[in-house]
Structure 1
Amino acid sequence: MGTDGHARRGGFLPPVPLPRRMWAGSQFTFHQPLRIGDALERTSTLHDVSEKSGRSGKLVFVKVRHEIRHAGESELALTEFHDIVYREAATALDVAPMPKAAPATSAWEMRWVPDDVLLFRYSALTFNAHRIHYDRKYVTEVEGYPGLIVHGPLVATLLLDLLRHHMPDAQVLSYEFRAVRPVFDIHPFFVCGEPQADGKTIHLWAKDHEGWLTMDATAVIA
């Protein structure tokens, strides 16, 4: 294991030398229903690696393609593209990017108050040992964040759950989300949604306690 709790780099994922890693987003396409108890097989491939420079320094983006099939079958049940971003270590000279305001109104909204128990349980559920989600001393003193980071996929799951709450019979055909700004456990956050005029597209987003956009997502339903 690496010092951040992840598996050491250089096996499946490339040996990116930058120390900080975060989930940047995902794109899902659902081809067949997946049910609890189904035996599944996953095939993962490295789809793309790119390097960029931002206000906070060098960035490396890694895109991984996951293909999910029912065991023994050739047809796809789910395709996922998983975007990972690696960043340089935090310094006192870092310039925070300008936040973007979330939409002012929404058809749906739910408030969540994260805590270390929720984050630890989600880490355990998803076999995610990344210390930024449960080790407060590590995330504040080593990676330089103000609190524990709420998992991007957890926020994305809560957004999709919001859709299910308001449209329980909807069949989701595709779902994509992009992390815009970290969410920390030191404040509540909100998940919001707005069905679009075409009747098939649902705009979903998360915002922090100050109203800044933290995640932007789109679901397409049947």
Structure 2
Amino acid sequence: MQDSNFSPPIDAEALAKLQAWQGRSETLADDITAAPVRALSATLDRDDAPPAPGTRLPALWHWLYFLPHHRQSEIGEDGHARRGGFLPPVPLPRRMWAGGRLNWETGNPLQVGDKVERTSTIASVTHKTGRTGELVFVLVRHEVRNERGLALTEEHDIVYRAAAAPGEKAPPPTPAPQDAVFSREIVPDDVLLFRYSALTFNGHRIHYDRRYVTEVEGYPGLIVHGPLIATLLVDLLRRNVPGAQLARFEFRAVRPTFDIAPFRVLGKPAEGSSDDKTFSLWGEDADGWLTMQATAVLA
């Protein structure tokens, strides 16, 4: 009997079919309402003033909007929508948010009360074979507009991986830098992961279903959302640099973070920067390994 996670090799013909998705676009409309802002503030353990119309949306909190609303009958085994809609039907079972690059129009911030529109385009589909098997990278470009015009552009990297092979070893880890100027310890308990999944309407089972993530996908514990770690990095900057507003942010997931131990988010002014607006930020697991790298540039 064939393993449900088995996927045939991606040959030139299969890759061409996936690359037929390049150039596809979709546009979604939403409203920047106050309730998700209050909820994420509580989830991040912040003591923010209640949001009101005109309150500026913190950087990365736009991920609370334009959420997927697939019907329950459209959900696949992993908790995501079945493949083949807007995103190409990549036949690899493990799917992760690998990183991204964001640019804000600093003269036009997103605000509570805005009516917004996001246009998303499949920019590229690429295939590689790595040490642990096949990889497919999908790059999605987003443009977010409010009534005043363009507010944000974002490039979103999605990686699809083959199922874990028996006895497969993780790639060699990278030690995290040891010269942080500020840091914060995070306890990734089930409630934190549940609340963030709920806020982003993220049904991906790797974040809340311990049996699925350990027995099917082969990980040692629940996986902390990459966007949550990125949000915590920016939140760390806000806690340590009063009034910080971002102009640019880029991040890359280096290693999964699991709920089996606390982790840290850390940062410092970037080395070699000619101004005081560029910061290096990173995540570190309980063993001192680098989990995420990021650079933030203030407006």
TM-score, normalising length: structure 2: 0.72
Query: What 5-or-longer segments of structure 1 have no aligned partner?
Result: none
> Following the alignment from structure 1 to structure 2, what is the Cα–Cα distance between the partners of residues 7 and 60?
18
Question: Within 2, Cα distance between the matches of 1:182 and 1:34?
Answer: 30
Distance (Å, rounded) in 2 between the aligned partners of 1:29 and 1:127: 24
Q: Secondary structure at the match of 1:15?
A: coil
Q: Pick the aligned partner of 1:152 from 226, 230, 244.
A: 226
Give the partner amino acid of 1:141.
E
Aligned residue in 1 for 2:176: 102
User: Which structure has more strand as a fraction of its residues?
Assistant: 1
Note the C-alpha offset of 1:125.
0.2
**Structure 2 counterpart of 1:186, one-letter code:** I
Give the secondary structure class of the aligned counterpart of 1:114. coil
Distance 2:178 2:244 in 1: 25
Q: What's the Cα RMSD here?
A: 1.0
AA paired with 1:150? V
2:13 match: none
State the Cα distance separating 1:210 from its structure 2 match. Answer: 0.8
Structure 2 counterpart of 1:36, from 96, 112, 128: 112
For the 8 Å contact 1:55–1:94, the answer to whether it is kept is no
Paired residues of 1:190 and 1:207 also in contact (CA < 8 A): yes
Look up the match of 1:164.
238
Letter in 1 for 2:284: K
Q: How far, CA to CA, are the matches of 1:203 and 1:111 in structure 2?
A: 17
Q: Is the 8 A contact 1:66 1:79 kept in 2?
A: yes
Of the three residues 161, 172, 177, the one matched with 2:251 is 177
Percent identity between the two aligned chains: 66
Alignment partner of 1:120: what SS? helix
Larger radius of gyration: 2
Within the candidate set 54, 62, 65, 2:141 is matched to 65
Corresponding residue of 2:194 = 120
Unaligned runs of 5+ in 2: 1-74
* Alpha-carbon separation, structure 1, partners of 2:186 and 2:180: 16
For 1:180 and 1:35, the matched residues in 2 are separated by 32
Does the residue aligned with 2:235 lie in a helix, a strand or coil?
helix
Query: Aligned residue for 1:141?
Result: 215
Match of 1:50 in 2: 126
- 1:26 is matched by which residue type in structure 2? G
1:12 aligns with 2:86: yes
Q: How far apart in 2 are the matches of 1:170 and 1:142?
A: 42
Note if contact 1:27-1:176 (Cα within 8 Å) is conserved in structure 2: yes
**Whole-Å Cα distance in 1 between the matches of residues 281 and 184 of structure 2?**
12
Letter in 2 for 1:45: T
Query: Which consecutive aligned stretches of 4+ in structure 1 deviate over 4 angstroms post-superposition?
Result: none
2:288 equivalent to 1:211: yes
Quick one: which amino acid aligns to residue 133 of structure 2?
A: G
